[in-house]
Amino acid sequence: MFIALGLGCLAGGAAAETRTIGVFGAWEAFGGATNDGRPVCGVSTSWQDGRYFGIKYWQGQPHFTVQLIKPSWQIPAGTRVPVALQFDQLGPWTANATGNPATATAGGFVEFTVPFNRLENFLREFRYANAAAVTFRQGSEPMWRLSLSGSNAASQAMADCVSRMAGGMAGKGSGEPTQPYGGPSQPYSPAPQTPVGGGKF
C-alpha cells in the first residue's frame, strides 16, 4: 500500500534517507535525514495509483509540513493551490498550498504548513477522527478520502521520533522544544486565479 519513502520526504527537491519506524493501520511512521543531513520525522499514507499524503517535521522549522503528491500532476513552481482538509464532520482546515513541479522520483506535489500554535488541535483531530477528506477548491482533481485507521499510534511514533531528534540536539544551542506538539486531473486551474485566504492556516 505504501510507496517508497523517498517520494514523501521531498523538501525543496531534496530526497531523504529514512527508515520505517512502524506501520499502524493505513499509516507509516518514519524518521531519518535529508540528503544534506537534516533530520526529519513524519507519518504518511498512500494509494495504489501513487497518490501520497504525508505530515512531516524537519529539524529547526517552526511548523510541520503537509505534502500531497500525485504522479500525473504537472504543477508550475510556486502555483497557489487552495485546499481544504476535513476530519470526520468537523470544520475544515483550509490553506493555500504551494505547488511544485515534478521531480525525477515523483509527480508534482503541493504542500502547506501547520504552525506550532495550531498544531495541537490539528493533530488531535488527526489522531482521533475516523476518516478525512482533502478537497482541491480549484482545478479538476477529485476529493481525496483518507482512512485514519492507525493514525493515533502513528502520531505517537512521530512524536517519539521528534523527541529523540530534540534530545539529540540538547546542549548544542538548537533551542528546539522537546515536544513541539502534543488529461489527468490537476489540483489547480491553469488560468490565473486570485488566492483564496485560508480559514485556519
Can you give the CATH number for the domain in which 22 is found? 2.60.40.1880
177 within domain boundaries: no
Strands 109-115 and 131-136, bridge-based pairing? unpaired
54 within domain boundaries: yes
Alpha-carbon distance of 129 to 108, in angstroms, equals 28
199 within domain boundaries: no
73 within domain boundaries: yes
- Domain count of the fold of the chain: 1
In 3D space, the residue among 130, 123, 131 whose CA is nearest the CA of residue 159 turns out to be 123
Instruction: Specify whether the backbone of 60 is left (phi greater than 0), alpha (psi in -120 to 50) or beta.
Output: left
173 within domain boundaries: no
187 HSE (CA, 13 A, CB side): 33
Q: pLDDT per position in the chain (201 positions), as tens?
A: 323 233 334 444 345 588 999 999 999 999 999 878 889 999 999 999 999 999 999 999 999 999 999 999 988 888 899 999 999 999 999 999 998 876 655 668 999 999 999 999 999 999 999 999 999 999 899 999 999 999 999 999 999 999 998 876 544 444 444 444 445 566 766 544 433 333 456
State if pTM tops 0.75: yes
At 182 the pLDDT is 44
Alpha-carbon distance of 31 to 12, in angstroms, equals 18
At 100 the pLDDT is 83
At 154 the pLDDT is 98
* Residue-range definition of the domain harbouring residue 47: 5-168
Alpha-carbon distance of 65 to 8, in angstroms, equals 11
Find out whether 49 and 173 touch, Cβ atoms under 8 Å.
no
In 3D space, the residue among 37, 178, 180 whose CA is nearest the CA of residue 113 turns out to be 180
At 76 the pLDDT is 82
In 3D space, the residue among 115, 132, 128, 92 whose CA is nearest the CA of residue 181 turns out to be 115
> Could you tell me where the DSSP H helices lie in 112-191?
116-128, 151-168
Return the SS3 of 185.
coil
Return the SS3 of 152.
helix
At 189 the pLDDT is 60
155 sits in which H/E element? helix 151-168
155 within domain boundaries: yes
110 within domain boundaries: yes
In total, the chain counts a number of residues equal to 201
176 within domain boundaries: no
At 175 the pLDDT is 44
Find out whether 50 and 3 touch, Cβ atoms under 8 Å.
yes
